[in-house]
Amino acid sequence: DVKVTQSSRYLVKRTGEKVFLECVQDMDHENMFWYRQDPGLGLRLIYFSYDVKMKEKGDIPEGYSVSREKKERFSLILESASTNQTSMYLCASSRRVTGELFFGEGSRLTVL
């Protein structure tokens, strides 16, 4: 079975802490994505990567950074967490040509 695995299902952090969310896919997909999902706001793209060490800003990149050192791994970093970053974070991967996204189970982050 194809799989996208996110490192943590639930995290609770304090304001100002650095947060790492990791995502690994086993499908040899070129593209990887980080979204956040909030009630009433839908899925919003934070960053995506179409190749190792390559990244592009999505719709809401402020306050976030990403790292893709290996093809299968895409990390989302919150340098200094704030309460408005409390959200469900979803990682996804896809082949470059299809647009079909395969999502992880999500990481629910609470920032106190």
Partner 1 sequence: TQLLEQSPQFLSIQEGENLTVYCNSSSVFSSLQWYRQEPGEGPVLLVTVVTGGEVKKLKRLTFQFGDARKDSSLHITAAQPGDTGLYLCAGAYTNAGKSTFGDGTTLTVKP
Structure tokens given for 104: 């992880």
Determine the residue type at 92: A
Min dist. Cβ of residue 106 to partner 1 (A): 5
Residues 6+ apart with CB under 8 A from 97: none
- Judged by CB, which is closer to partner 1: 14, or 40? 40
- Judged by CB, which is closer to partner 1: 84, or 98? 98
Min dist. Cβ of residue 48 to partner 1 (A): 6
Min dist. Cβ of residue 90 to partner 1 (A): 5
CA nearest to 21, candidates 47, 40, 44, 51: 47
Query: Per DSSP, what are the bridge partners of residue 38?
Result: 42
CA nearest to 23, candidates 11, 5, 41: 5
| Cα distance between residue 96 and residue 42, in whole Å | 23
- Judged by CB, which is closer to partner 1: 72, or 103? 103
Min dist. Cβ of residue 65 to partner 1 (A): 18
The residues that touch partner 1, with contacts defined as CB under 8 A, are: 4, 31, 33, 42-43, 45, 48, 50, 56, 58, 90, 92, 96-106, 108
